Amino acid sequence: AQRVTQPEKLLSVFKGAPVELKCNYSYSGSPELFWYVQYSRQRLQLLLRHISRESIKGFTADLNKGETSFHLKKPFAQEEDSAMYYCALSGVGGGSNYKLTFGKGTLLTVNP
């Protein structure tokens, strides 16, 4: 079974401070990991995926297979980063492995 754990429901930081949103996963195989963001009253949108190795809006995430983690980081948080962040996992293979399994999300608040 695949599972995604985001241990923090809420995370509050001040503008300019570093931020790290934690994500741990459980999957017997090679997963694909994603971060989705949902700004207030907007749809879920893909922020980044581990295979792209991109930095989007200053965010990066590194897949650590040893620790089964995919933490999202940004060195200097901005107020506009305030949103709900979801870590998601997809297996590689047939059937239900194709589905995205989401963590319960972390609500990030960046205070001025």
Partner 1 sequence: DSGVTQTPKHLITATGQRVTLRCSPRSGDLSVYWYQQSLDQGLQFLIQYYNGEERAKGNILERFSAQQFPDLHSELNLSSLELGDSALYFCASSVGPDSGNTIYFGEGSWLTVV
Binding site for partner 1 (CB under 8 A): 32, 36, 42-46, 49, 86, 90-92, 95-105
DSSP 15: T
Taking the complex as a whole, how short is the minimal distance between the CB of residue 14 and partner 1, in angstroms? Answer: 27
CB atoms within 10 A of CB 106: 20
Taking the complex as a whole, how short is the minimal distance between the CB of residue 17 and partner 1, in angstroms? Answer: 26
Taking the complex as a whole, how short is the minimal distance between the CB of residue 44 and partner 1, in angstroms? Answer: 4
Q: Which long-range contacts (CB under 8 A, 24 or more apart) does 42-47 make?
A: 44/86, 47/72, 47/85
Question: Coil, strand, or helix at residue 89?
Answer: strand
Would you say 6 or 19 has its CB closer to partner 1?
A: 6
- Taking the alpha carbons at both ends of the chain, their separation in whole angstroms is 41
Taking the complex as a whole, how short is the minimal distance between the CB of residue 106 and partner 1, in angstroms? Answer: 11
